[in-house]
A and B are shown apart, each in its own frame.
Chain A
Amino acid sequence: MRIREPFKNLAEAVPTIRLSEGGVCLLVVDCHHYSLSPNHGYGRVARERGIFRELDEYYEQLEQVTPNLQHLVDSSRARAVSVIFTRLVGSCDVPSSVSPQARATGLWAERSSIDAAFVPELGPQNGELVLDKTTVSAFADTGLGRTLSTLKARSLVISGVLAEGAVALSARDAADLGYNVVVVSDACAGATWTSQSLAMTALVGGLVRIRSTAAVVEMLNGTRT
């Protein structure tokens, strides 16, 4: 996606970071059955409306994104980087259990359903933290900021779905809160190929930079900036 970004030409350079120096957490945004499994969540809703084909590009991306996410999670665990999972869940019996914004879209998972469960290949292990979101951003109403303070995190690697939704909003919130942010371009899926690419292009700036999975692993190893 090629767009003009004249205001970015005015900004100071995004500072360099060294992930290998520690203080890093990996955030895996909304990678549960609702989002990842074609027979659940988004896919089910699309089928009910007779428009499943509209999500072809999204699921195409996930075929590449999911292995990258697994590699990213495994690499993080191997380097003792804390992995934090989020999911947007609520209770049908308690309308206020999700934010008005999420409630208005209807695109969230019932907490007790399979939709809210993590897929086996990409779920928390050994007590890894799961944050149940009620909003789109991972920072609103989840206590993520406090968690990151407790973990003494200075840098946040962000992956998951949707690139232009929860990932982008969480990245911008994290940067606004002062964290160095690395969004992993090929570990994030968007609604379409174009919206994914546009989101990645638009996010760069301030404290946000974009890297591939391979590059992030190299950064964690200390072999690249």
Chain B
Amino acid sequence: MGCIQTVTGSIAPEALGITYMHEHLLCDQRRCRRDGLRRPGVEGDMMILDDIDVAVREMREIRGLGASALVEVTMQAWGRDVGMLRRISEMTGVKVIATSGFYVEQCHPSFVTELTVDELAHGLVHEITIGVDDTGIRTGLLKSAVSRPVVEGPEEKCARAVARAQLASGASITTHTSGSSRFEIPGGNIGMQLLDIFESEGVDPKRVIVGHVDENVDIRNLVNLCRRGAYVQFDVIGKHHWMLDETRADVVVDMVARGYASHVLLSTDRARRSELKSYGGLGYAYLLTHFVPMLRERRLDERSLHQIMVENPRRALAILPRSPK
């Protein structure tokens, strides 16, 4: 079944327990370019997490609640620090899987415009197989992100690089799917277009996690993504401006009832101070203290819950050699 690469080393998939599939521990959106108006002197609600003590405290809390691992999806151009992630993991006992790839174009590193798709892919494969920079710390997942209502321009270039890195490394791909453009995309997220691009490069959709599906849900679209083989990830749990958690819970249970329990993943995508308990927010713990009980209230059986929170992450995060066609 392959192995799972954490920032503290490779582990067997069976060693992974309850896993948060899409989170940030350290990130800094101030490093990104920014279109649009910006209120002078006000950081507002930017995606900034920069306090390791806060991260450690909140990771210890979820460890105490039974969490085993967390996927950290911050990319290199806006604050990924694999050394600090390893330190947090060692201090808390929570296994952390770091990610290689690209966030939306405003956060692309400058070399994206200079390098070819294959050169970009080579860099990603290096991080998965050798390590990030000279740290020796390997990442365990790839990430592709789209901000536009169609996959085009530099974001398409990066998506193709990620696809080629998937083929070369065997790591899965997780995705960020156009939240601000969601009302311009049939089905509510860019997953279908991304799958088209990944498949055109030869990627098996079973190795793709369509993220942020709970920003704008159309269950028909989720079913179609699952039918193509992809995972659908409910990963903005607790963010009620996108959707009520009651609705999320209903849809998760509905997906299980339709036979797609093996495709569902969960997380909270905490990326702002205001979202952490230490600053008065819901924190990472909310998934286990509030959302999982909501699923149980809806009579989601424990076997399905275990599948969603343990077995699916094991399968999705396993680095597999390319299967012969």
Contacts and interface: CB of A to CB of B under 8 A. Distances in A.
A16 B39 contact: no
Interface string B138-153: 0000000000111011
Given A209-B184, A224-B152, A225-B152, A193 B39 contact: yes
Nearest to A2: B241
A86 interface: no
Interface in B45-102: 45
A60 B40 CA distance: 8
A204 interface: yes
B148 A225 contact: yes
Interface residues of A, number: 28
B188 interface: yes
A16 B35 contact: no
B2 to A, nearest CB: 37
Interface stretch (A7-15, A33-41, A120-128, A135-143): A7-15
Given A16-B150, A225-B149, A64 B38 contact: yes
A225 B186 contact: no
Given A4-B241, A64-B37, A225-B152, A13 B217 contact: no
Nearest to B150: A225
Interface string B241-255: 101100000000000
B185 interface: yes
A185 B36 contact: yes
Interface residues on B, range: 20 to 34
A186 interface: yes
A4 B241 CA distance: 4
B241 A3 contact: yes
B240 interface: yes
Does more than half of chain B's interface fall in helix, strand or loop, or is it mixed?
loop
B37 A61 contact: yes
A209 B243 CA distance: 21
Given A13-B184, A205-B183, A223 B36 contact: no
B8 interface: no
Interface string B31-44: 00001111110000
A212 B36 contact: yes
Nearest to A196: B37
B153 A224 contact: yes
B183 A215 contact: no
A151 interface: no
A13 B186 contact: yes
A86 B38 CA distance: 26
Contacts of B36: 185-186, 212
A81 to B, nearest CB: 20
A16 B241 contact: no
A200 to B, nearest CB: 9
Contacts of A51: none
B149 A11 contact: no
A16 B183 contact: no
A9 B217 contact: yes
Contacts of B149: 13-14, 16, 209, 225
A174 interface: no
Contacts of B241: 2-4
Select the residue from B45, B185, B241 with max chain A CB neighbours within 10 A.
B241
B196 to A, nearest CB: 15
B240 A16 contact: no
Contacts of A205: 183
B129 interface: no
B34 to A, nearest CB: 9
A13 B183 contact: yes
Contacts of B150: 16, 225
B307 interface: no
A214 B183 contact: no
B216 interface: yes
A152 B243 CA distance: 40
Nearest to B35: A212
B219 to A, nearest CB: 11
A8 B37 contact: no
Nearest to B242: A4
A167 interface: no
A65 interface: yes
Nearest to A200: B36
A4 B240 contact: yes
A223 to B, nearest CB: 6
Interface string A6-29: 001101111010000000000000
Interface in A61-97: 61, 64-65
5 contacts: A9-B243, A14-B149, A16-B184, A186-B36, A193-B39
Given A13-B186, A204-B183, A224-B148, 10 more contacts: A4-B240, A4-B241, A8-B183, A9-B243, A13-B187, A14-B149, A16-B149, A60-B39, A60-B40, A209-B184
Interface of B: 35-40, 45, 148-150, 152-153, 183-188, 216-218, 240-241, 243-244
Nearest first, the 10 A-B pairs at minimum CB distance are A212-B35, A2-B241, A14-B184, A186-B36, A13-B186, A225-B150, A186-B37, A193-B39, A212-B36, A8-B183
